[in-house]
């Protein structure tokens, strides 16, 4: 019987995918999950098996991620997701805002030129938990106690730590023992970092989750019980503990001792929300992202630029394709740093211009045969682009007494807790067509001292703001920092959701997702083939994480890209860093074939941690 699946685009001009994949693309008809940790995927799939929908499953998996990937996200962090609703796809906005006392003047008076990368001065109102509870109340079906039971189990009874938890703790062990004793007590209870596979527990966080459930004990309905938990977190015992603990001066990145400025009132003022996404059409698919308060539109801009090239220039596995993609990424990242931020979120004219075919054509024309430095934003009549300072890692190291603070890489943690690119991801699709792509992050165990009665620490998203009023991403009280969290949803020509995807990786998230989209939508790769294929990205933009450095002409590639391609990039002027064979890109994807109803999922094999599950 002939297949009713839509025909794949031709591969003739693309490098053929490897004949062997690390694992199959899972296919079935019941439900599919993909996440950056196998225990989160298993918990989410268990919810589907017991009658929950995609949103119940996602919330359960997300709270497990707080426990099993504490070096990548936490309940004190933030969340951005794309979800299907009865009114069409929406952005689940769980990005907290700057505290009322977080003014440029306050930070300048403390002798700071940048918002620190670690410590409570970089904290926003935690947004992830409120966003997950909003989703559960409005789109889920399960009781809060049942959804949280998986996370409570792993926090109280323990789970085997992945190796990177131990290496992260080891990187900041001196900070913990000398300056953050509550973090040492939680993450080094035996006086040393946990080993690979060592069982670790977080009884304090288990109690916190228990108390959130208990807050709704007297409520009459499921929704009222969830609302009570939201109040307990945002304006109850959690908020009170956050304010009291953050007010105590402690060590920040850069070595200074500061008190945080976040208060219970700041937490009470924040509420997660559902917002309209923005989009472009590429090769018959509508690609949905956040607005320009996040970096999501840069992927849309990149697709608009690349859509004007022949397919042969879109193959990341060739010299010409890799060069074209890297140069496109530099252009859109320069635009991100010049134009994106909360100030652009309500500026429809600005976004329309950045996503217009005319603007894409003008940017496309700037791509030559040679590498560029990556420092030229586009011109918009009547507007002046913001140009953030471009400090190289070498220049930063020359004026910084601690060489560890100038280290780079993804993920990286220095002795004072600063980090870049540490995040996790979760995708779920159920048999009814409900979908969610969620990228939770922040509140890493190394971001600020552990609040002992809560079992978690605060996030540091304010490091993505500038102490410069002229920037669209300037630090302003009550305003969201520009986030790197950037999940993706695809719709077919009829407007039906077909796929959800995303990746950890900070500034690299949309860069790696772009490669996936090109290989699947243009090259005809299967999801797992596209995830397995060699990855690359540029670091020629101003980094979103402290200390905000830039590496002109830089490209980072997996060695599997091949000697000929790498040599060709170097001849074109790219300063190439070889990152190893399997080191870049941590994509997750789930979807539904609209013509057949078949569900699918795939996950990143790098690091032997991410897994898909489903049937």
Q: How do residues 129-140 score in pLDDT, each as one tens digit? A: 999 999 999 999
- What is the pairing mode between strands 554-557 and 575-578? parallel
pLDDT of res. 391: 94
Task: Provide mean pLDDT across the span 406-420.
Answer: 42
- Write the burial class of residue 10 (CB in 10 Å: 0-12 exposed, 13-18 middle, 19+ buried): exposed
At which residue do the structure tokens 């989209």 appear?
Answer: 517
pLDDT tens for 510-521 read 999 999 999 999
Q: With bands split at pLDDT 50, 70 and 90, how would you rate the model's confidence at 19?
A: confident
The pLDDT value given to residue 360:
98
Percent of the chain with pLDDT over 70: 94
29, 598 Cβ separation under 8 angstroms: yes
Average pLDDT over every residue of 187-214: 97
594: helix, strand or coil? coil
Across all residues in the chain, what is the average pLDDT?
94
Q: Collapsing DSSP states into helix, strand and coil, what is residue 68?
A: helix
Indicate the DSSP class of residue 107: H
Edge to edge, what strands does the sheet with 285-289 contain?
26-28, 599-603, 588-592, 497-502, 488-491, 285-289, 278-282
Q: Which two tokens stand for residue 302?
A: 């990149």
Mean pLDDT of 80-107: 98
- Per-residue pLDDT tens over the stretch 524-577: 999 999 999 999 999 999 999 999 999 999 999 999 999 999 999 999 999 999
Q: State the Cα–Cα distance between residues 166 and 355, nearest whole angstrom.
A: 43
The separation between CA 91 and the C-alpha centre of its own chain, rounded to angstroms, equals: 14
Residue 9 has pLDDT above 60, yes or no: no
Q: What pLDDT was estimated at residue 409?
A: 30
Compute the average pLDDT of residues 79-97.
97
User: How many residues belong to the chain?
Assistant: 615
Rg of the chain in Å (alpha carbons): 23
C-alpha closest to that of 67 among 171, 177, 148, 133? 148
- Residue 4: per-residue pLDDT: 38
pLDDT, tens only, 424-452? 999 999 999 999 999 999 999 999 999 99
Q: Measuring CA to CA, how many Å separate 265 from each of 98, 259, 353?
A: 12, 17, 38
Residue 73 pLDDT level (bands cut at 50, 70, 90): very high
519 sits in which H/E element: none
Tell the residue number behind the tokens 């590498």, with chain if given. 371
**Averaged pLDDT for residues 397-401:** 78
> Does the pLDDT at position 5 exceed 70?
no
110-130: string of b/e by CB count within 10 Å (b at 16+)? eebebbbbbbbbbbbbbbbbb
Q: What is the pLDDT of residues 314-324, one digit of tens each?
A: 999 999 999 99
- What tokens were used for 168? 């992260």
Adjacent-strand bridge partners of 554: 575
C-alpha closest to that of 126 among 258, 244, 243? 243
DSSP state for residue 17 in the 8-state scheme: P
DSSP string, 109-140: HTT-SS--SSSGGG-----HHHHHHHHHHHH-
Tell me: the pLDDT tens digits for 331-371?
Answer: 999 999 999 999 999 899 999 999 999 999 999 999 999 99
Which of the four pLDDT bands, split at 50, 70 and 90, describes residue 28? very high
Q: Is the pLDDT of residue 176 over 80?
A: yes
Tokens standing for residue 150: 């998986």
pLDDT of residue 2: 37
Residue keyed to tokens 């890109």: 585
CB atoms within 10 A of CB 358: 8
Give the SS3 label for residue 275. Answer: strand
Q: Would you state the pLDDT for residue 401?
A: 59
Q: Report CA dihedral (409, 411, 414, 415) to the nearest 10 degrees.
A: -150
> Read out DSSP for 530-582?
HHHS--EEE--S--SSTT-B--TTEEEE-GGG-HHHHHHHHHTT-EEEE--SS
Pair 415, 174: CB distance under 8 Å: yes
Q: Is the pLDDT of residue 376 over 80?
A: yes
Where does the pLDDT of residue 408 fall: very low under 50, low under 70, confident under 90, or very high at 90 and above? very low
| pLDDT tens-digit series, residues 266-310 | 999 999 999 999 999 999 999 999 999 999 999 999 999 999 999
What's the rounded mean pLDDT across residues 79-94? 97
């Amino acid at each position: 019987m002939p297949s009713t699946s839509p025909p794949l685009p031709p591969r003739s001009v693309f490098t053929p995918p490897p004949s062997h994949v690390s694992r199959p693309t899972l296919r079935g008809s019941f439900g599919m999950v993909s996440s950056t940790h196998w225990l989160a995927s298993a918990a989410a799939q268990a919810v589907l098996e017991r009658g929950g929908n995609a949103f119940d499953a996602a919330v359960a998996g997300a709270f497990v991620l707080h426990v099993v990937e504490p070096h990548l996200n936490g309940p004190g962090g933030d969340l951005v997701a794309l979800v299907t609703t009865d009114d069409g796809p929406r952005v689940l906005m769980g990005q907290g805002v700057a505290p009322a006392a977080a003014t440029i003047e306050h930070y300048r008076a403390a002798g700071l030129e940048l918002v620190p990368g670690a410590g409570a001065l970089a904290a926003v109102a935690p947004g992830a938990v409120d966003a997950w509870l909003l989703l559960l109340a409005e789109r889920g079906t399960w009781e809060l106690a049942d959804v949280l039971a998986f996370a409570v189990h792993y926090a109280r009874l323990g789970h085997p730590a992945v190796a990177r938890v131990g290496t992260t703790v080891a990187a900041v062990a001196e900070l913990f023992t000398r300056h953050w004793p509550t973090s040492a007590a939680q993450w080094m209870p035996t006086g040393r970092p946990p080993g690979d596979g060592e069982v670790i527990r977080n009884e304090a966080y288990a109690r916190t989750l228990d108390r959130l459930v208990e807050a709704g004990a007297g409520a009459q309905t499921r929704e009222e019980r969830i609302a009570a938990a939201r109040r307990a977190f945002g304006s109850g015992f959690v908020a009170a503990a956050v304010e009291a603990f953050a007010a105590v001066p402690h060590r920040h990145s850069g070595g200074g001792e500061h008190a945080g400025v976040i208060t219970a009132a700041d937490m009470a003022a924040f509420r997660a929300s559902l917002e309209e996404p923005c989009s472009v059409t590429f090769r018959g698919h509508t690609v949905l992202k956040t607005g320009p308060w996040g970096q999501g539109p840069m992927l849309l801009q990149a697709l608009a630029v690349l859509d004007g090239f022949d397919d042969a220039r879109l193959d990341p596995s060739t010299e010409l394709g890799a060069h074209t993609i890297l140069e496109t990424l530099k252009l859109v990242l320069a635009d991100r740093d010049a134009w994106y931020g909360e100030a652009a979120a309500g500026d429809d004219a600005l976004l329309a211009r950045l996503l217009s075919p005319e603007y894409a054509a003008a940017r496309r024309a700037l791509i030559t045969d040679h590498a560029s430095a990556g420092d030229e934003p586009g011109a918009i009549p009547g507007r002046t682009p913001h140009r953030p300072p471009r400090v190289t890692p070498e220049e930063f190291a020359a004026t910084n007494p601690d060489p560890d603070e100038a280290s780079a890489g993804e993920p990286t943690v220095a002795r004072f807790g600063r980090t870049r690119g540490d995040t996790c991801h979760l995708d779920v699709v159920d048999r009814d067509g409900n979908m969610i792509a969620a990228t939770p992050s922040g509140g890493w165990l190394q971001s600020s001292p552990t609040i002992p009665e809560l079992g978690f620490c605060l996030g540091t998203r304010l490091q993505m703001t500038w102490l410069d009023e002229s920037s669209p991403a300037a630090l302003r009280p009550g305003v969201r920092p520009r986030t790197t969290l950037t999940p993706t949803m695809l719709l077919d020509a009829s407007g039906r959701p077909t796929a959800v995807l995303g990746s950890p990786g900070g500034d690299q998230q949309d860069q790696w997702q772009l490669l996936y989209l090109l290989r699947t939508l243009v090259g005809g790769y299967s999801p797992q083939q596209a995830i397995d294929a060699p990855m690359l990205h540029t670091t020629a933009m101003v980094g979103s994480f402290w200390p905000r450095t830039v590496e002109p002409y830089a490209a980072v590639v997996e060695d599997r890209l091949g000697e000929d391609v790498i040599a060709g990039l170097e001849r074109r002027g790219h300063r190439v860093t070889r990152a190893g064979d399997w080191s870049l890109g941590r994509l997750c994807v789930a979807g539904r074939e609209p013509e057949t109803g078949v569900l699918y999922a795939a996950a990143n094999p790098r690091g032997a941690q991410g897994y898909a599950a489903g049937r």
